[in-house]
Amino acid sequence: MDCSTSGPIVSLGTVVNATSCSIADGSIGVSASAGKEPYLFAINGLPAQADGSFKNLSAGAYTLSVTDANGCSSFVENVAIKASDFKFTTQLIGDSDCLGGNGQVTVNVEQLNPPYSYRLGTGSFGESNVFAALATGTYGITVKDNNGCSVNLSVTVPRAFSGVSWENDVRPIIVKSCALSGCHNGDSRSDLRVFDNAKFYAASIKSKTRDRSMPREGTLKQSEIDLISCWVDDGAVAN
């Protein structure tokens, strides 16, 4: 099954801010459509639940997901809950370096109880509110103020246009590992060396190389899988 075309769709509903940094009374509502019922909803990777209403939330930034009965998932990211004594925004720069990481997150906090300190993941706290050289993905950022308020942010760095080339990067991978006898060389299955065919099946190619069900021998390097994914995310262009 191609989850990119037949998976669920998650929609953000009402977001209620918390009263203060010390009171966890914020809430987020999400709903789901498409895909196959029943749905399971989750927030920040915590155990899933049967409904899309999340209550008793502290100030912070959240990632929410819905997973359908076929195991396909959809996400809504960077959902902010603020508080009277903790108001913030996040500025994101997408990652355009497919095999490295040049994304960036800047956390802008209204200076209500300065000074503030910032930490990425389990690293050390510091004064800088800017985190650079980040690959596409979701990161935990913690912010502390002068009154002992500690707020956790789940922030997702988006994928920016990478410029991965069909002709120079992706097609050689397909020629080497996919367009083999009995596979995608045009004899019994679509010839994926042909751009129009590869574009038509682009989402499936990305999904099946990422879960290593294709090629059957599982011979692709991680860098090759990443190049295919970036090309697909770019729109599977004929470059």
Query: What are the residue boundaries of the structural domains of the chain, listed by start?
Result: 3-81, 88-157, 166-233
Helix crossing, 222-233 with 202-210: angle to 10°?
A: 150
pLDDT at residue 188, as a whole number: 62
Q: How far apart are CA 209 and CA 195, in angstroms?
A: 17
Tokens 């367009």 sit at which residue?
Answer: 179
What does CATH list as the number for 88-157?
Answer: 2.60.40
pLDDT at residue 212, as a whole number: 84
This prediction's pTM: 0.81
Q: How far apart are CA 214 and CA 209, in angstroms?
A: 5
pLDDT at residue 17, as a whole number: 96
Q: To the nearest 10°, report the CA torsion of 86, 87, 93, 94.
A: 80
Environment class of 153 (CB within 10 Å of its CB; exposed 0-12, middle 13-18, buried 19+): buried
pLDDT at residue 218, as a whole number: 65
What does CATH list as the number for 3-81?
Answer: 2.60.40
pLDDT at residue 99, as a whole number: 92
Residue pLDDT tens, the chain, 239 long? 667 677 899 999 999 999 998 899 999 999 999 999 999 999 998 999 999 999 999 999 999 999 999 999 999 999 999 999 899 999 999 999 999 999 999 999 998 889 999 999 999 999 999 999 999 999 999 999 998 889 999 999 999 999 999 999 999 998 888 766 566 665 567 888 889 988 998 888 888 888 888 887 668 899 999 999 999 999 999 99
